[in-house]
Amino acid sequence: MLKMNYSQQAWDLDSDCCSCDMQFNDWVEANRITGKTFYHFGTGTHHVVGLRQAELGNAVFAITASKREYDAYVALVTENPRVAKSYLTYFGDVYLSDSRLLPVVDAVTLFHLCEFSQPNTVSAEYGGLTDRGLLDLMTGKTRPGGHVLFYTGSNGWQATEALLPAWEKEQPVERLGHFKWLKGYRKAG
């Protein structure tokens, strides 16, 4: 019987490992972004993106493939229900995402693109997306004028970077450059 791809690991707050999440929060603050909605791929047990964005008046819809990270989210919102008003995390395999279930957002964090696809991800039996398919899906769910962000310190960065030239030509995006280790794009429109 086929089972969902998920992570046995969980990522606690580590300024080296999780700097992408903290850098995203810094990027939002540096750009004085408020009242916006973000899709966040990979929460960590620390949930620093959801917590900080709740404080800043933004909303975050996030996915984790780690049971421990999801359990940490449940504990977080159980103890702090006000956070649940603007921060929602779901458990699943991002490669099984369905456009019909995803909101349109102002920014997407694809910091972990090309890190977690499995050999069976795109098999007919599993029915998952490729990394490029996931990138296209999330670009499509980004509002015109919104942002798609990548983390150049990711262990999947080399594979992600190889996807970008064709994506830039085929999708309505413009390169913005870097903020710390984040590489950003704006969706045209």
Beta bridge partner(s), residue 88: 61
Cα four-point dihedral sign 9, 14, 20, 22: positive
SS3 53: helix
Pairing of strands 182-187, 142-151: antiparallel
pLDDT of residue 146: 98
Binned at pLDDT 50, 70 and 90, residue 13 comes out as: low
Pairing of strands 142-151, 105-109: parallel
- For every residue of 126-165, which 3-state class applies, written as one string? CCCCCHHHHHHHHHHCEEEEEEEEEECCCCCHHHHHHHHH
Higher pLDDT, 26 or 7: 26
pLDDT surpassing 60 at residue 11: no
> What's the pLDDT tens digit per position in 94-146?
999 999 999 999 999 999 999 987 777 888 898 999 999 999 999 999 999 99
Contact 188, 173 (CB under 8 A): yes
**Consecutive H or E run containing 38:** strand 37-41
For the chain, what is the mean pLDDT?
A: 93
* Domains of the chain, CATH where assigned: 19-187 (3.40.50.150)
pLDDT of residue 22: 94
pLDDT of residue 37: 98
User: Alpha-carbon distance 22 to 19, whole Å?
Assistant: 5
User: Alpha-carbon distance 182 to 184, whole Å?
Assistant: 6
Q: What is the DSSP letter of 103?
A: P
User: Alpha-carbon distance 161 to 152, whole Å?
Assistant: 8
Q: Which of 130, 153, 140, 147 is nearest to 185 (CA)?
A: 147
